[in-house]
Amino acid sequence: MEKFIVSSSPHFNGKKTTQNIMLDVIIGLTPAMVASVVIFGIRAAVVILTCIAACVASEYICRRVMKRPQTVGDLSCVVTGILLALNLPVTINPLMAVFGSVAAIVVIKQMFGGIGQNFVNPALTARIILMNSFPAPMTHWTDAFDYGAGADAVTTATPLSGMMYVNSPNSAPDYMQLLWGTHGGCLGETCALAIILGGVYLIIRKVISPVIPVTYLATVAVFSAVLGRDPLFDLLAGGLMLGAFFMATDYTTSPLYWKARIVFAVGCGVLTVLIREFGSLPEGVSYSIVLMNIVTPLIERYVRPRAFGKPKEKKGRGAA
Amino acid sequence: MQQQFPNRPFRTHGGAPVPHHKNTWSEPSAVMPPPERVVIPMQQHIGAPCKPVVKKGDHVYVGQVIGDNDAFVCAPIHASVSGTVSAVTKVLLTGGQTTEAIVIDSDGQMEHDPSIAPPPPVTNKKELAETARKSGLVGLGGAGFPAHVKLNVPEGKSIDTLIINVAECEPYVTSDHREALENGRNVLEGIYKVKEILDVHRVLIAVEDNKPDVIAKLTEIADDPQKDPKDEVRVLTLKSRYPQGAEKVLVQACTGRKVAPGQLPADVGCLVMNIASVSFLASYMRTGMPLTLKRVTIDGSAVKSPKNVIVPIGTPIKDVVAFCGGYKAEPRKILMGGPMMGIAITSDELPILKQNNAILAFDEAEARQYATTDCIRCGRCVAACPMELMPTKLEKAVEKKDVDALLSLDIMTCMECGCCAFSCPAGRRLVQAIRLGKSYVRKAGKK
């Protein structure tokens, strides 16, 4: 008889794996992808598929070159691809999308050690890189249902940039339009409803905890009201929904402990509104999340759970 | 003093939704006939090992003391069969330690020691502790902490709550479940006795809600206006969420109090006893028969007919499995205890110990190791930890052998319940890493 397997307890493992978590995220992103294809036409699908293919290929090649175990199977690169695509305008040159994907996977993710090691969100940082490399194509918006608009067509405003530059008090924002996403913008920042749907799915599947999205959105609403802006408009416009449900909740770059997550999400919310109100950019979701990603280790250092039954540490001098 | 009884359990942190697999609860326990030989190790408890007091060739009776030690934290060991001592050898136990063991060849008679008689009635705390020591009782829930040490509440600490642990949160294990159904009255008898001697006026029988029949049965028996006129013994229904039965978590669920690191439940006025321990104490006081039998759940995918078996202590595991119809598939992993905290053993020749509550044998499919991938920092381990630690950070500190970081992350508070590793989507061996980390800390002599 063969020898028995001897291993450390526990001898059971739960059903969740990295792969099926990522699959759930992909399912959660599906409504947003479908909405983007409906709103912007088949070219949206092309952008999404380009990003996914480029991300998967970069991850595969990177792991091969680095002689590391292959991690394409965990699907996290597919998620990065989708998220990046949802952050691009539909008229983007596919080569730029490929450039962004390579930057996300190779520079931001794999060079720092692969999944779980990157200190900023790959898709968001890639978007920032693209924004700074190609400012014009990255802010070239077409109207909803204007399937044929080319890169040379007249650009329309997104609701946020419209508010910033036009700033007409007469044009009250159309909330239903924002909710359904029938306006200009990135693929994934238009239809708030589809993103909320996907976010709720992730919460029900316990892939994400509601702490970050709820705190983030609440902070934006409150802070926006404090500054005399329109809170409902701020919630529904721009990339906030996508950021709150899918980007800020990124495991690797957000804190582990729920109280630290609250600090993180409040920071994201405050920065988002500050950039929208005072910044030279119409939109601040990506910068605020990336900035908070960077301070995550610092938050974790100061906000951490107190071990069961451990007495509160006395502050100040003379503490034992 | 009138004490409040909680209507529902207090909140506890974390935990894991482990599958129950309580396959064996409905079948009455079978009594195993005396095995050919038993191997009785001299260490079946936390504390000092016993020294053999019999030698090769001696004839022993059931219930006769065969090992004892004057040390305080120690419980005597009794022969579980009658017969002849064929050897005093050494065995390797699961903790990796070698200990002396007495091998007894059974004569099949199960003759009781003629000197066994009911102990004199217990009237005070000291006598209760003494009686518990003589009975050889250790914590039957799995830890094996000598019962008399626990019952010997130091001066200055007062116990206001007695908690009877029937949570049985480990998957598969149903031995406490059967104890409650088969020996309910005995359990209550033990509770009344301990309650009277320790002058406790609040007794909570804590049962997880996956055992409605136990809740119904114990509630019915506990509602006895004659023995308990003030209704001081009540059943508290806990949520079925592993690890409700872990001592610290149980105290928290029952009273809302937290036992600080390095402290005992007595420090927050609680005494936790396993149901089988209380029940045994009651029968010992009635008959004087020390701890020689143990109810053990035999289950797992490799066992032909899983059931609870009442086994003489020291019976080799393979004999007990043979009594359960033997293996139906080749066993690849055998556990002593439940799948969350049980120990994988190297051989089925090892004997059943006092504190064993289950033996699980798994076939190839269930024994297979799951794959480990990189940590994705999802935070599930942090959310699952009942001790409110950060297992993934501990694991990283262990990799760096950073003892200071381990201490600042309170590694010693970890009770190795396994919730973190169970919840980990990357299949990381967090408990294993933490155990290693604890050894670094011990080696560094900082605690």
pLDDT tens digits, one per residue of A169-212: 445 567 777 788 777 788 888 888 999 999 999 999 999 999 99
Interchain contact, A7 vs B388, CB within 8 Å: no
Q: Best residue in A1, A3, A4, A207 to probe B by mutation, most B CBs within 10 Å? A: A4
The structure tokens 């001697």 sit at B197
DSSP B144-183: --BHHHHHSPPTT----EEEEEE---SSS--HHHHHHHHH
Tell me what pLDDT residue A168 has. Answer: 41
Cβ–Cβ < 8 Å for B215, B235: yes
List all residues 6 or more positions away from A111 whose beta carbon is below 8 Å from its beta carbon.
Answer: none
What is the nearest CA distance from A274 to chain B, expressed in angstroms?
Answer: 29
Contact at CB, A10 and B341, closer than 8 angstroms: yes
- The radius of gyration of chain A from alpha carbons, rounded to an integer in Å, stands at 21
Q: Name the minimum distance, in Å, from the CA of B396 to any CA of chain A.
A: 12
Q: What is the pLDDT of residue A72?
A: 92
Q: What is the mean pLDDT of chain B?
A: 91
- End-to-end CA, chain B: 39
Closest chain A residue by Cα to residue B14: A308
Instruction: Tell me, rounded to whole angstroms, the distance of Cα A63 from its chain centroid.
Output: 24
Q: What is the DSSP string of A76-88?
A: HHHHHHHHHHHTS
Full-model pTM: 0.90
Average pLDDT over residues B387-407: 95
Least confidently predicted of A313-317, B80-84, B145-149, B433-437: A313-317
Describe the strand order of the beta sheet including B293-299 as a list of residue ranges: B30-31, B307-312, B293-299, B358-362, B333-336, B343-345
Residue of B nearest to A207 (CA): B378
| Any B CB within 8 A of A7 CB | yes
Residue B360, pLDDT > 90, answer yes
Which band of pLDDT confidence, cut at 50, 70 and 90, is reported for residue A148?
low
From A11, A18, A21, residue closest to B344, measured CB to CB? A11
Q: How far is CA A110 from CA A51, A246, B297, in A?
A: 17, 20, 49
Average pLDDT on B436-443 reads 94
| Cβ(A43)–Cβ(A72) below 8 Å | no
The answer to whether the CB of B24 falls within 8 A of the CB of B14 is no
pLDDT for the residue A314: 57
Question: Is the Cβ pair A116, B429 closer than 8 Å?
Answer: no
ipTM of the complex: 0.88
Q: Is A30 on the interface with B (CB under 8 A)?
A: no
> Considering CB atoms only, which of B248, B260, B377 is closest to A116?
B377
**Which is more confidently placed, A163 or B361?**
B361
pLDDT in tens, B1-11: 557 889 899 99
Domains of chain B plus CATH, in order, are 34-112 (2.40.50), 125-287 (3.40.50.11540), 292-368 (3.10.20.600), 380-443 (no CATH)
Q: Residue A313, Cβ neighbours under 10 Å: how many?
A: 8
Distance of CA A261 to the CA centre of its chain: 15
Q: Name the maximum alpha-carbon separation found in chain A.
A: 84
pLDDT of amino acid A203: 96
Is there a contact between B260 and A17 if contact means CB atoms under 8 Å apart?
no
A302 touches B: beta carbon within 8 Å:
no
In tens, the pLDDT along B84-127 reads: 999 999 988 877 788 999 999 999 888 898 988 898 888 888 89
The answer to whether the beta carbons of residues B125 and B198 sit under 8 Å apart is yes
Report the chain B residue with the minimal C-alpha distance to residue A313.
B408
Of B248, B367, B410, the CB nearest to A5: B367
Q: Measure CB to CB from residue B377 to each of A10, A252, A308 and give the nearest one.
A: A252
B-chain residues near A3 (CB < 8 A):
346
- As given in the structure block, the two tokens for residue A181 are 């996403």
Q: Which pLDDT tens digit goes with each residue over B156-189?
A: 888 999 999 999 999 999 999 999 999 998 999 9
Find the closest chain A residue to B370 by CA distance: A13
A-B Cβ pairs (cutoff 8 Å, strict): 153
The answer to whether B396 faces chain A, any CB pair under 8 Å, is no
Is A93 near chain B, with CB under 8 Å? no
| B378 close to A (CB below 8 A) | yes
Q: What is the mean pLDDT of chain A?
A: 87
Q: Which candidate from A16, A71, A309 shows the least CB-CB separation from B258?
A: A309
**Closest residue of B to A260, CA-based?**
B379
Cα nearest neighbour of A303 on chain B: B390
> Is B342 near chain A, with CB under 8 Å?
yes
pLDDT for B72 beyond 80: yes
Q: Which helix (H) or strand (E) segment is B277 a member of?
A: helix B275-287
For A12, the closest of B375, B422, B435 (CB atoms) is B422
Q: To the nearest whole percent, how much of chain A has pLDDT over 70? A: 89
Candidates A4, A10, A307; nearest CB to B413: A307
* Range name among A55-64, B54-63, B147-156 with the lowest pLDDT average: B147-156
| Strand B343-345 relative to strand B51-52, pairing | unpaired
pLDDT surpasses 80 at B447: no
What is the DSSP secondary structure assignment for residue A156, as one 8-state letter?
A: B
Q: Calculate mean pLDDT across residues B419-432.
A: 95
Lowest mean pLDDT among A121-130, B219-228, B374-383, B431-440: B219-228
Q: How many CB atoms lie within 10 A of CB B173?
A: 29
pLDDT at B145: 87
A4 contact B CB<8A: yes
Q: The tokens of B49 are what? A: 């090992």
User: Which chain A residue shows the shortest CA-CA distance from B342?
Assistant: A9
Report helix, strand or coil for B10: coil
AA identity, residue A124: L
At residue B98, the pLDDT reads 87
Chain B nearest-CA residue for A117? B376
Q: What is the mean pLDDT of residues B249-263?
A: 93
Best B374, B412, B414 member to test A by mutation, with max A CBs in 10 Å, is: B374
Q: Inspect the interface and report whether the beta carbons of A4 and B341 lie closer than 8 Å.
A: no
Which residue from B minimizes the CA distance to A21?
B425
The yes-or-no verdict on residue A165 having pLDDT over 50 is no
> How far is the C-alpha of A155 from the C-alpha of A160, rounded, in Å?
14
Q: Is B374 helix (H, G, I), strand (E, B) or coil?
A: coil
Residue A150: pLDDT over 80: no
The continuous run of DSSP H or E covering B333 comes out as: strand B333-336
Is the confidence at residue B309, as pLDDT, over 80? Answer: yes
pLDDT computed for residue A238 by the predictor: 83
pLDDT at A190: 81
pLDDT digits (tens, 9 = 90+) for B201-233: 999 999 999 999 999 999 988 888 888 888 889
Q: Which residues of A touch B331 (CB under 8 A)?
A: 4
Cβ contacts of B380 on chain A, cutoff 8 Å: 16
* pLDDT recorded at residue A170: 44
> At residue B402, does pLDDT exceed 80?
yes
Q: Is A182 on the interface with B (CB under 8 A)?
A: no
